Amino acid sequence: MTIFHTAHLRVRPDIVESFRERVLRHARTCLATEPGCHQFDIHQETSDPTLFLLIEIYADGDALKTHRASPTYLQWREDTKDWIVDRTWWIWSKMGPNGTK
C-alpha cells in the first residue's frame, strides 16, 4: 500500500537559508537514488519562514523503512540535528471512492 507521509519542521531563524538548501538537496537525492520514493515536495510557510512542510510518497512501508535506513537519510539527520527545533510526522490513509476507508 502506498505511504503518504508528511512532516512539519520548524528550524532556527538564523539557519533558514542553509536549511532550505539542505532540504532541497535531500529531496533531490532521495528521488534520484530511492526507487520507492515517488514524491518529495517541500513547502515553506509564507508568514513564518522557519516552518517547512515535507510531503513524501513512498511505494509501500518497506520503501519508507529503506528511506529511513539509507545513508542519505542518516546524513540528513546528522547535518540538521542542531537546526530543527520542532518535528512532527504523520502517515496518512487515503479515504474516499478510491481509498481504503
* Residue 9 amino acid letter: L
Contact by Cβ (8 Å): 42, 24: yes
Q: What is the pLDDT of residues 59-92, one digit of tens each?
A: 999 999 999 999 999 999 999 999 999 999 999 9
pTM confidence score: 0.90
Domain ranges of the chain: 3-88
CATH of domain 3-88: 3.30.70.100
Query: Per-residue pLDDT tens for 8-31?
Result: 999 999 999 999 999 999 999 999
